[in-house]
Chains A and B, each alone.
Chain A
Amino acid sequence: MAADGGMGHATKRREDVRFLTGRGKYTDDYTPAKTTYCAFARSTVANGKINSIDTKDAAGMPGVVTVFTGEDFAEVGGNPAGWLINSRDGEPMKEPKRPVLAHGKVRHVGDAYAAVIAETLEQAMDAVEAIDADIDELDAVVNMVDALANSTTLVHDEIGTNQCFDWGWIEDNRAATDEAIKNAPHVTTLELVNNRLVPNAMEPRCSIGEYDPGTGDYKLTTTSQNPHLTRLLISAFVMGIPENKLTVHAPDVGGGFGSKIYHYGEEALVLAAAKKLNRPVKWTSTRTEAFLSDAHGRDHVTKIELACERDGTFIAFRTETMANVGAYLSNFSTATPTFLHGTLMAGNYTVPNVYVNVKAVFTNTAPVDAYRGAGRPEATFSLERVIDKAARELGMDPIALRRKNFIKPDQYPYASAAGLEYDSGNYDALMDGLEAAADLAGFEARRAESAKNGKLRGLGINSYIEACGIAPSNLVGVLGSRVGLYDAATVRVNATGNISVMVGAHSHGQGHETAFPQVVADMLGVDPMSIEIVHGDTSKIPFGMGTYGSRSLAVCGSAVFRATEKIIKKATLIAAHMMEDKPENVDFEDGDFSVKGTNKKVSFGDVALKAYIPHDFPLEDIEPGLEETAFYDPANFTYPSGAYACEVEVDPDTGKVDICSMIAMDDFGNVVNPMIVTGQVQGGLAQGIGQALLEHGIYDENGQLLSGSLMDYAMPRADDLPNFVVDHSHATRCTHNPIGVKGCGEAGAIGSPPTVVNAVVDALQRGGHDVEHIDMPVSPARVWEAMNG
């Protein structure tokens, strides 16, 4: 019934009405009666031994209610990593405890070692300044090479090394890959850095703890992408609060990009404080705290080799990566550089040999974890940069080289050499679309025009594949995940026919409140505006795993689909009863139930009402009510893919790069709301261009974050970006979920960085500069230095 707001309709986002009129309700907008305020004392040194923390003066300051130090949490559990990774030798990864508050040592600038709760925020901040912390500054390990070489300066003394794990994927392919590379006619090698990023969601983190001494119930209101996972971590690992005594509520959330997937110590602290004080406790991160304590993204140092025949046929990819995990293991930090990265290292290609080695390294820096794309941007950047370099070395056109090695449409399902089974795709069709949209024939004329203005013009091409819809539980279980990655939905048809859909996914910018009703409306033939999405509150929704990894629609949307199927099945029973016929004779179409071959008809609304007024139900056969829950666990990842092109102009006098055009051809499978999908891609492109040109979380040798504010950390702004061309018409359906969708949230951030850097290198090469690579961010200074030796 897609005509009016169903599947495929570009419905405007209903949630935007409240967001754009200032009526969104974010965590910090909630201030329960008698709230107290929390401020943290955070380390100013990157590595330090805590000799003592004297809180006596602070505790006596005006308005101060209580003060906590790491000592108070010495007995509670640590915040665990969600994935267990084993090293090549079979040893499990090193997993030092991540305490609620630093205890014994501080391990990065911003590491919280004490907290003050006071009547006002100003009083809490004043008291933090009165804490007398005796901390001996120790040498810091910041650089990953140094960290691995150094056995005396350790981030965690108790594990005796700065290496978390040394992982090989697929270890059994190592020898064959080495042999293939040794014997290959041509090998292209590239060393590169995937720059550290600071997420900078517009809304900083915020957590409010409440405790009801009458019932013993806890409530945590917090900025989370996945409230059930946060509840699970707090209950099962950190605080031991039974799950049925803890509600986690994530109301409107102003952006996450990964950084709000994880459970943070501040959440445990406000709960513990609320219990101790019998009063609500609120903490709101400052932007400075966000820079220092949110989980950062990326930060890989990589060497990649591509072996190929002289005609460009790929023989092998071999990758060695050091992945910075920072000072503590954040919840997904061990999965990101391994199974979200290594498994994608065959790209879109029929390459027979792939081997990836990843060493995860502890350093005295903020923890690093999944950030929009999470491992897949790192994989794509390495692959697509080395392929571009190989094309140059082989004298081949970069598009032709990619096409030569693409998996072809008739090869699906395709078992990649990196261990995944791609279910569908058509990379040549995407590239055809890209070539048409990019007007490649006109490039030389545009380049000549740029040259007239003293600018060097370049063209960058990229193709990517990602694994989304994270993830099949049976597969991730084998890979080391300690949780399942299904999702859940409850569809509740109310008596008057309107519908509440409780979902485990969490919307923090994705538009679930608009898109999910489109799926249900399409199936039930009802007005989408009669359907309301409920999310974010563990006391209202079924146990779902939240939103990240472009999973919401593919996994949770499929649960919604399955629950709606159950609704139709149940409603058909009721309709048959109402029309006094057999269920198998009842058809359901456009919101009406009818008996085949008759004019008997009842509407969906009539059935809903009947479900709650079951005066004449055969109660042995039909239960009253119309409410169904489904848990959906996918059979496989989904595999969105795309082909991107970008043209840049480089100012040779200053090194400044201007992006003239950016074209994104993506295959997301079926599309529920093309407007939202376009917006997601645009946002991802902006974020990817930010990584490529502007953003850099950079520490000095003492572990001080040099780009620790927006005065030095450059976020992309509108005038840094061109008008994007976004096209998702070259789609192949996902074969294994009921909606046929693949996920679109991360694509732009995955596909754009290599496209931009390929374009810059192309511009310099065509301009006569022998520059093979520039690390991101490709800042004016770096471009100028590359051009001038």
Chain B
Amino acid sequence: MYNFEFAKPKTVEEAASAMAAEGAQALGGGQTLLPTMKQRLASPEVLVSMTGIESMVGVAVRGDTLTIGGATTHAQVAADAADLYPGLAALAANIGDPAVRNRGTIGGSLANNDPAACYPAGALGSGATITTNTRDIAADDYFQGMFETALDEDEIITSVSFPIPEKANYQKFDQPASRFALVGVFVAKTADGVRVAVTGASNEGVYRWTEAETALSASFSEGALESMSGNLDDMIADLHGSASYRAHLVGVLTRRAVAACG
């Protein structure tokens, strides 16, 4: 690890001014960033921790919308959203291991946008809104490919708002070593239709499986998908699974998510 400065602001405003410094890097729970720094693969000059900003921590519900502070840990979401948005709480409860869940934050996960992370599927599948210190970004606009997002360099995710669907479920098939998603599928049924978001499978990062959405919006049942598989284009192929295996899993997990929605 190279040397760096460390800032732990108390407010979003302080954080924004700290982030304006040259080489500043926002730090959530550090579950990806710190190992990367330890390997000397990242060398931020200033780490700006978000976890001391009280207004960015917590889970609240207003009407049909669940809002999660950007610095809220997975463990807190798993506990506090369990009754409010069980599909999302279950997703949070199955990220990594207890150590990861007690450190990792939703803002950190979404800002990193790992192509195999769970939260991007939850956010895109729910049609969430990512709120930063400067603007609101719809999930459909936010995710722009593997590790790519709509965030500006110094932009801070302050909260994420999830419209609470009628039903939702996330199915993750573990990559055996990392236990990130080899493939993960988030299905949400809302009054406006069905959204299906897939993580882990594509070289383009998290994406919406529109064919499945169309089929499920017409009939929300496993049968509506028959033996559909994900589109082979741009599927990840690596030592843990071929493109066709991942495409197959996309179909299997989507059907399982629909079944689990009841």
Contact = CB atoms under 8 A, between A and B. Distances in A.
A696 interface: yes
A26 interface: no
A710 interface: yes
Given A288-B39, A698-B239, A784-B245, A654 B173 contact: yes
A414 interface: no
A122 B1 CA distance: 8
B240 interface: yes
A712 interface: yes
B224 to A, nearest CB: 17
Contacts of A711: 177-178
Contacts of B182: 780
Contacts of A707: 177, 239
Contacts of A693: 176
A781 interface: yes
Interface residues of A, number: 25
A609 interface: no
A756 interface: no
Interface string B168-190: 00000100111000100000000
B174 to A, nearest CB: 9
Contacts of B177: 694, 707, 710-715
Contacts of A473: none
A620 interface: no
Given A288-B39, A653-B252, A711-B178, A781 B240 contact: yes
Contacts of B249: 654
A393 interface: no
Interface string A749-784: 000000000000000000000000000000111001
Nearest to A713: B177
Interface in B229-244: 238-242
A114 interface: no
B241 A781 contact: yes
B40 interface: yes
Interface in B187-222: none
A711 B173 CA distance: 15
Contacts of A713: 177
Most B CB within 10 A of own CB, among A288, A654, A696, A706: A654
Interface string A629-672: 00000000000000000000000011110000000000000000
Number of chain B interface residues as a range: 10 to 19
B248 interface: yes
A125 interface: yes
Contacts of B2: 122
B40 to A, nearest CB: 7
Contacts of B238: 706
A123 to B, nearest CB: 11
A655 B249 CA distance: 10
A137 interface: no
A171 interface: no
Interface in A117-141: 122, 125
B248 A712 contact: no
Nearest to A777: B176
B176 A694 contact: yes
Contacts of A397: none
A221 B39 CA distance: 26
Contacts, number: 48
A698 B40 CA distance: 24
A784 B240 contact: no
A698 B176 CA distance: 15
Given A712-B178, A781-B245, A654 B239 contact: no
Interface in A82-136: 122, 125
Interface of B is mostly: loop
B40 A125 contact: yes
Interface of A is mostly: loop
A590 interface: no
Contact of A779 (B1, B3, B240): B240
Contact of B176 (A706, A714, A788): A714
Contacts of B40: 125
B223 to A, nearest CB: 15
A785 interface: yes
Interface in A352-404: none
B184 to A, nearest CB: 13
A414 B242 CA distance: 49
A781 B238 CA distance: 11
A122 B37 CA distance: 13
A711 B178 CA distance: 4
Nearest to A720: B176
Interface string B1-26: 11100000000000000000000000
A125 B2 CA distance: 10
Given A654-B249, A711-B178, A712-B177, A780 B241 contact: yes
A468 B115 CA distance: 47
A652 to B, nearest CB: 10
A299 to B, nearest CB: 16
Nearest to B97: A717
Contacts of A714: 176-177
Nearest to B255: A653
B239 A696 contact: yes
A288 B249 CA distance: 31
A653 B249 CA distance: 8
Nearest to A288: B39
Nearest to A694: B176
B252 A654 contact: yes
A288 B38 CA distance: 11
Interface string B75-111: 0000000000000000000000000000000000000
Contacts of A710: 177-178
Interface string B151-182: 00000000000000000000001001110001
Given A288-B39, A654-B173, A707-B177, A712 B252 contact: no
Contacts of B245: 655, 781, 784-785
A706 B173 contact: no
A397 B242 CA distance: 36
Most B CB within 10 A of own CB, among A693, A780, A781, A788: A781
A780 B239 CA distance: 11
A122 B245 CA distance: 43
Interface in A162-212: none
A656 B248 CA distance: 13
A712 B239 contact: yes
A372 B249 CA distance: 35
B176 A784 contact: no
A469 to B, nearest CB: 35
A125 B38 CA distance: 12
Nearest to A696: B239
Most A CB within 10 A of own CB, among B2, B3, B177, B178: B177
B116 to A, nearest CB: 10
A779 B176 contact: yes
Contact of B239 (A706, A715, A785): A706
Contacts of A712: 177-178, 239-240
A483 B182 CA distance: 48
B178 A785 contact: no
B175 to A, nearest CB: 8
A288 B182 CA distance: 23
Nearest to B116: A711
A701 to B, nearest CB: 13
Nearest to A716: B176
Given A654-B173, A779-B240, A784 B248 contact: yes
12 contacts: A122-B3, A653-B252, A654-B249, A694-B176, A694-B177, A712-B178, A779-B176, A780-B182, A781-B240, A784-B245, A784-B248, A788-B248
Closest 6 A-B residue pairs measured CB to CB?
Answer: A714-B177, A714-B176, A781-B241, A711-B178, A653-B252, A781-B245
Interface of B: 1-3, 39-40, 173, 176-178, 182, 238-242, 245, 248-249, 252
Given A694-B176, A707-B239, A788-B248, 8 more contacts: A125-B40, A288-B39, A706-B238, A711-B178, A712-B177, A714-B177, A779-B176, A779-B240
